[in-house]
Amino acid sequence: GAGVSQSPRYKVAKRGQDVALRCDPISGHVSLFWYQQALGQGPEFLTYFQNEAQLDKSGLPSDRFFAERPEGSVSTLKIQRTQQEDSAVYLCASSPRQGELTGELFFGEGSRLTVL
Amino acid sequence: QQPVQSPQAVILREGEDAVINCSSSKALYSVHWYRQKHGEAPVFLMILLKGGEQKGHEKISASFNEKKQQSSLYLTASQLSYSGTYFCGTEKVSNAGNMLTFGGGTRLMVKP
């Protein structure tokens, strides 16, 4: 497909487990963003990559959250020792632009994480 | 800081009009509008750039008042397909690269 692909779509984890969420951006897109969307809320910024460089991780809520994009394409968001408050939809978005956002972000459908 | 959207929810009959507002406590660089249907990805509607340039893909209009730090999205002659949650995003400018900060959303339901 030509869009942003995220996997898994649904993940149920027991509290304390580690999870890894994957994002395949549109080919050639330089910028990649991760957002967290709690039920009934707007997406909240987590982190931003420009190619393989993580330029902003100010939105990561704790040091249990880690993201990487080692080759500048696929990205993985890892959450260690999951807590119930981590339950949310995790959205990935990509853009062919860097710097100013003069065009749209292309979002994936998200990975819905439920921590029991 | 997160922009504030109003109203939080609105119910319309098909063919009616609606206005969704977005305001920020900080100076706006640009405002982006997205629509998200339940369980789906947010979909781009429109960008309003500082200086008045407007880019969009659908027949939905918007305004951008830089002085008031506000934007409004105008949905006219609403269709059933307009139902969903609308988010405004304000662009945060940084040396590291710009990102969007989204409001809490406005839930729109269009009934036949």
Q: Give per-residue pLDDT as tens, A31-64.
A: 999 999 999 999 999 999 999 999 999 999 999 9
Q: State the pLDDT confidence band at B91, using cuts at 50, 70 and 90.
A: confident
Provide the phi-psi class of A46: left if phi over 0, else alpha when psi is between -120 and 50, else beta: alpha
Q: Is the peptide bond before B7 cis (omega within 30 degrees of 0)?
A: yes
Banded model confidence at residue B56, pLDDT cuts 50, 70, 90 = low
Q: What percent of chain A has pLDDT over 90?
A: 91
| Distance between CA atoms of residues A30 and A52, nearest Å | 9
Of A20, A18, A50, the residue nearest A33 (C-alpha): A50
pLDDT at B79: 92
CB nearest A42 (choices: B91, B96, B104): B104
Asked if the Cβ–Cβ distance from A98 to B97 is below 8 Å, we say yes
Best A101, A106, A107, A112 member to test B by mutation, with max B CBs in 10 Å, is: A101
Question: Would you state the pLDDT for residue B58?
Answer: 60
pLDDT for the residue A99: 73
> Cα–Cα distance between A68 and B42 in angstroms, integer?
23
Report residues of chain A scoring pLDDT below 50. Answer: none
Nearest partner of B18 among B90, B106, B112, B89, judged by Cα: B106
Q: What mean pLDDT is predicted for residues B16-43?
A: 91
Query: Under an 8 A CB cutoff, do B30 and A56 touch?
Result: no
Average pLDDT rounded to a whole number, residues B29-40? 92
Query: Which residues in chain A are contacts of B96 at CB distance < 8 A?
Result: 48, 55-56
User: When comparing pLDDT for B95 and B79, which is higher?
Assistant: B79
Q: Which two tokens stand for residue B49?
A: 């750039």
Instruction: Say yes or no for a CB contact (<8 Å) between A102 and B49.
Output: yes
Show residues of chain A in contact with B91, CB under 8 Å.
100-101
Q: B31, B48, B58, B99: best mutation site toward chain A, by most A Cβ within 10 Å?
A: B99
pLDDT score recorded for residue B67: 83
Q: In B, which residues are within 8 Å of A110 by CB distance?
A: 41
pLDDT of residue A114: 98
The bridge status of strand B43-49 relative to strand B61-65 is: unpaired
